[in-house]
Chains A and B, each alone.
Chain A
Amino acid sequence: MVDLNKAMYDVLVGGMILSSITYLVGILQFLIQSQNPLQAAIVHYQSVSEFVTGLLAVRSAAVLTLATVFLIATPIVRVFISILVFAFNRNFKYVAITGVVLLILITSIVLGYFWHFTPQ
């Protein structure tokens, strides 16, 4: 049996620490770069390659964007990991329940993305 409590704790704390450290690095980098915050480079990356180039150059905007990716990914990873834990523990009722949650999440994201919908 895998301890569900411990697995969930590990995922959430992992995501929290990873994103927090990345945010801190990004803020320090921003202060060191001494950019004018009003003209602080690109804020929204139009493409993945642009973002990766920014990351490789350790631009603060890119580092901070990476931190946000870590942050938003955490609850989604949490749902995914809980399915694995329930499956490993042969609790198939909850594999089904959590599977439905993951399906709804993916559906919402895909529909929202293609309809160019942002919540109010």
Chain B
Amino acid sequence: MSLALVLVTVGFIAAAFAAAILAGFLGALFGIGGGIIIVPFLTVFMGIPIHEGIAISIVSVIATSNAGGSSYVEQRITNIRLAMFLEVATTAGALVGSFIALLLQSWELFMIFTCLLTYMAVISFRTRRTDEARIGTGEFAKVRQDRLAKYLDLSGVYYDASAKRNVQYLVTRAPEGSLISSVAGVVSGLLGVGGGIIKVSAMNIFMNVPMKAAVATSKFMIGVTAATGALLFFLAGLVDPYIIAPVALGTTLGATIGTWVMPRVGSSTLKAAFAVLVAYFAYVMLAQGLALGFGIQLPVIG
């Protein structure tokens, strides 16, 4: 191999590794998969075909969920029972979403998701300070549990490193939260992304789960949601081993760093940044919907 080729190869591995570290870091911080960074990076900057880019991305979601999920489990921020309960909805939703994607290219669905995400972005931003206030007053533990949440013992507790106290919480509106999580599953089936953003919002906005516990629990769940898609892409031969290697290693490292940072950031900062991210997702969905339905091209990276 010539020196130039060695440099190109090493350069490619290094660039993919660096982008993946960023994706893994943000993914751990917000409880998402990080496909929103990996896919544009691979397709726009590396010139990889979109199908392979998505395939690599969805496999890397598992890498970040293994690394991030395990760290949050070790720090006991993850609510494992809640995760198991919501996984029923997300995996079923993903199955349904896959078939919707097979049957139609629906711009209406993108518009519905745009509305849902816009709503979630606005609510997250407006309630960005309430988490810290409610942690201070212990209010997360003072709501009424619904019957399902009580029956399944979905309540939880975690140590908040920035508030420096144990935070107890009860879960409300378990059926509604589960319904919204199934939407997250449908999105991931449709678009090949983890749907972490909807899971975090469902738990935090609707189910009375503190932001950090929601992020950790989502991080734990997305590996399972992504597993089906990842395996199918893999069996179809779309996962290039030479690209996934640096990407998986990078997201693993980035997620590990992210899980150290997240508990130490204040909930209001975390939620404000999360709201911006959700708003961006809403914009991407809008762009997709307009492109599919009306042929209108909005500027989007990727």
A75 in contact with B54 (CB, 8 Å): no
Mark out the residues of chain B between 29 and 66 whose CB falls within 8 Å of any chain A CB in the assembled complex: 51, 54-55, 58-59, 62-63, 65-66
Q: How many A-B residue pairs lie within 8 Å, measured between CB atoms?
A: 181
Q: Give B225-261 as 1s and 0s: 1 = Cβ < 8 Å from A's Cβ atoms.
A: 0111111111111111110111011001000000000
Number of interface residues of A (CB under 8 A): 59
Q: Give A82-114 as 1s and 0s: 1 = Cβ < 8 Å from B's Cβ atoms.
A: 100000000001100110110011011101110
Contacts A9-B73, A16-B70 given; does A104 touch B95 at CB 8 Å: yes
Mark out the residues of chain B between 175 and 195 whose CB falls within 8 Å of any chain A CB in the assembled complex: 189-192
CA distance A73 to B258 in the complex (A): 23
Chain A's closest residue to B185 (CB) is A104
CA distance A12 to B64 in the complex (A): 11
Q: For the complex, would chain A's binding face be called helix, strand, loop or mixed by DSSP majority? A: helix
Which of B84-92, B127-135, B269-277 forms part of the interface with chain A?
B84-92
Known: A8-B220, A43-B237, A111-B95. 9 other contacts (CB 8 A): A5-B80, A8-B80, A16-B70, A16-B252, A68-B234, A72-B59, A75-B223, A75-B227, A119-B190
Please list the residues of chain A having a beta carbon within 8 angstroms of any beta carbon in chain B.
4-5, 8-9, 12-13, 15-16, 19-20, 23-24, 26-27, 30-31, 34-37, 40, 43-45, 60-61, 64-65, 67-69, 71-72, 74-76, 78-79, 82, 93-94, 97-98, 100-101, 104-105, 107-109, 111-113, 115-120
